[in-house]
Chain A
Amino acid sequence: DTAVSQTPKYLVTQMGNDKSIKCEQNLGHDTMYWYKQDSKKFLKIMFSYNNKELIINETVPNRFSPKSPDKAHLNLHINSLELGDSAVYFCASSQVGFSGNTIYFGEGSWLTVV
Chain B
Amino acid sequence: QKEVEQNSGPLSVPEGAIASLNCTYSDRGSQSFFWYRQYSGKSPELIMSIYSNGDKEDGRFTAQLNKASQYVSLLIRDSQPSDSATYLCAVNRPGTYKYIFGTGTRLKVLA
Contact = CB atoms under 8 A, between A and B. Distances in A.
A interface, size bucket: 20 to 34
Contact of B32 (A45, A50, A99): A99
Interface stretch (B15-23, B40-48, B60-68): B40-48
Contacts of B92: 99
Interface in B81-109: 86, 88, 90, 92, 94-101, 103-104, 106
Interface of A: 31, 33, 35, 40-45, 48, 50, 55-56, 90, 94, 96, 98-108
A108 B88 CA distance: 16
Contact of B43 (A33, A42, A94, A105): A105
Q: How large is the interface on B (under 10, 10 to 19, 20 to 34, 35 or more residues)?
A: 20 to 34
Contacts of B86: 41
A29 B12 CA distance: 38
6 residue pairs, one from A and one from B, having the closest CB atoms: A43-B101, A105-B43, A41-B104, A99-B32, A42-B103, A48-B97
